Chains A and B, each alone.
Chain A
Amino acid sequence: MFVCLCKGITDSDIQQLVLEHGVGSIRELKQHVALGSECGTCTKVAQMVIDNTIIDETLFKNVG
Chain B
Amino acid sequence: MITYIIRRLFAAVVLLFIVSAVTFAIFYLVPRLAGATPETLATRYVGRAATPETVSLIAHKLGFYDPIWVQYGRWIKGIFVGADYNLGASVDHCPAPCFGYSFITREPVWPDLVDRLPVTLSLAVGASILWAVFGVSIGAVSALRRGSLLDRTAMGFSLAGVSLPIFFTGMIGLLVFSYTLKWTAVGGSYTPFTQNPADWFYSLLLPWIVLALQFSAQYARLTRAGMLETMGEDYIRTARAKGLPERAVTTRHGLRAALTPILTIFGLDVGLLLGGAVLTETVFSLPGLGKYAIDAITNNDLPKVLGVTLMAAFFVIIANLIVDLLYAVVDPRVRLG
A and B associate: no
Residues of B at the A interface (CB closer than 8 Å) are: none
Residues of A at the B interface (CB closer than 8 Å) are: none
